[in-house]
């Protein structure tokens, strides 16, 4: 269960180039990307802060839930997008839909990318803009969104994703439990190890 301030970003098709531009992909680390989140929207050309952008305004600087338009995270496969959102302090992204690779990257980093009905997102956006700060509670176990007064919406998430997000499972560890199945697949495929394709590899 997570309760936090909601930052509204009412745009559709927010691509990963907006979430984190390419000049910040040159690091060899998994963290330290928070300052670069939505860089070209948050910073003016000369590097000064754009006071109009939502995350530069109070009370959104400390927001932990992002509310956005459909197809969030489209574009490149850069996991840096999920790392930047997480490093900024976001714990959940609520949107009508997500790009496939982005959602997987979010899952891998314990960032809950949750799809809500388009109408629900529209209502929440209206509230987030008019009665800031809107604070919401995301309950992953119960699959619900609530404010301090009432239950507002429920969302669908498959059991496996829910379990991974709740328990922060080591996904590689899970696959390695199938080491025997992997080996037997390989043996069936290449009965003679010397035949392993592709040639010369």
Partner 1 sequence: MIGDQPSTLLDKIWNSHLVHADPGAPDLLYVDLHLLHEVTSAQAFEGLRVAGRTVRRPDLCMATVDHNIPTTDRSLPVLDSLARRQMEVLRENAQGHGIRLFDVDDERQGIVHVIGPELGLTRPGMVIVCGDSHTSTHGAFGALSFGIGTSEVEHVLATQCIPQRRPKAMEIRLEGDRPPGISAKDLILAVIGEIGVSGAVGHVVEYTGPVVGSLSMEERMTICNMSIEAGARAGMISPDPTTFEYLRDREFGPNSEEFVNLKMEWESLKTDDGATFDRSIMMDVSDLEPQVTWGTNPGMVTEISGSVPDPCRIKDEKARDSAERALEYMGLQPGTPMESINVDRVFVGSCTNGRLEDLREVARVLDGRRVHTDVHAMVVPGSTAVRRQAESEGLDRIFREAGFEWREAGCSMCIGMNPDTLSAGERCASTTNRNFEGRQGRGGRTHLVSPATAAATAVAGRLADPRSC
Residues forming the site for partner 1 (CB under 8 A): 10-13, 15, 17-18, 21-23, 25-30, 40, 45, 69-71, 74-79, 82, 97, 99-101, 104-105, 108-109, 158-160, 171-172, 174-176, 178, 181-182, 185-186, 189, 196-201
CB 40 within 8 A of CB 15: no
Nearer CB in complex with partner 1: 5/85: 85
Is 7 or 125 the residue whose CB approaches partner 1 more closely?
125
Closest contact distance (angstroms) between CB of 142 and partner 1 is: 19
* Strand arrangement, sheet containing 65-68: 112-115, 92-95, 65-68, 2-9, 135-139, 144-146, 151-154
For the bound state, the minimum distance from the C-beta of residue 168 to partner 1, rounded and expressed in Å, comes to 12
Distance CA 131, CA 198 (A): 60
Q: What are phi and psi of 123, to 5 degrees?
A: -65, -45
Say how far residue 115 (Cα) sits from the centre of its chain.
11
Q: Which is nearer to partner 1, 2 or 77 (CB)?
A: 77
């Amino acid at each position: 269960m997570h309760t936090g301030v909601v930052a509204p970003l009412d745009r559709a098709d927010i691509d990963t180039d907006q979430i984190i531009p390419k000049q910040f992909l040159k690091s060899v680390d998994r963290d330290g990307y928070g300052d670069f989140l939505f860089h070209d929207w948050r910073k003016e050309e000369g590097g000064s802060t754009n006071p109009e952008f939502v995350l530069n305004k109070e009370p959104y600087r400390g927001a932990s839930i992002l509310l956005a338009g459909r197809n969030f995270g489209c574009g490149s496969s850069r996991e840096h997008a999920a790392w930047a959102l997480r490093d900024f302090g976001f714990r959940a992204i609520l949107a009508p839909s997500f790009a496939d690779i982005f959602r997987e990257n979010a899952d891998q980093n314990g960032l809950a990318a949750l799809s809500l009905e388009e109408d629900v997102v529209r209502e929440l956006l209206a509230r987030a803009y008019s009665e800031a700060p809107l604070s919401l509670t995301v309950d992953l176990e119960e699959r619900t969104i609530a404010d301090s007064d009432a239950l507002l919406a429920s969302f669908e998430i498959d059991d496996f994703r829910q379990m991974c997000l709740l328990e922060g499972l080591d996904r590689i560890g899970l696959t390695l439990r199938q080491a025997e199945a992997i080996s037997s697949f390989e043996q069936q495929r290449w009965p003679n190890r010397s035949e392993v394709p592709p040639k010369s590899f």
